[in-house]
Amino acid sequence: MEEKLTVGAAAAETGWSARMLRYLEEHGLVVPARSPAGYRVYRLPELNRLRSLRDLRRSFGLDLADLAFARRLRREPELKRAVDNWLAAADDSGSWVEWEQRKHERLLTA
């Protein structure tokens, strides 16, 4: 059986809400095909991406901006150089920790 799930079924299957699946599509994170009538059609690849995305967020507390930024880092070497430089100089001073920690807590309780 070719698994073809509508948005509600895919939501139930992956632990998201239907609302969020639409949101994720809107932002180009997981974009399903469409049926002739316009219904979203989720198949295995989409389901897997939804699951792994959920896990990424759950275990590391990432938000979508983080993913987008990671992507920029991979494809803008100039940017990566600049950031690495700044971080190297910055690493010894300043209590960055709180920032990460607060965010981590925030997203874990959500």
Partner DNA sequence: CGAACCTTCACACGCATGTGATAAGGTTGG
Partner DNA sequence: CCAACCTTATCACATGCGTGTGAAGGTTCG
Binding site for a copy of itself (CB under 8 A): 27-31, 45, 49, 52-53, 56, 59-60, 62, 64-74, 76, 79, 82-87, 89-91, 93-100, 103
Nearest to 21 by CA among 37, 35, 36, 5: 5
Q: Does 106 sit near DNA (CB under 7 A)? A: yes
* Smallest separation (angstroms) from DNA to the CB of 85: 19
Region near DNA per CB under 7 A, out of 43-51, 57-65, 76-84, 88-96: 57-65
Interface with DNA (CB under 7 A): 6-9, 17-20, 22-23, 27, 35-40, 63-65, 99, 102-103, 106, 110
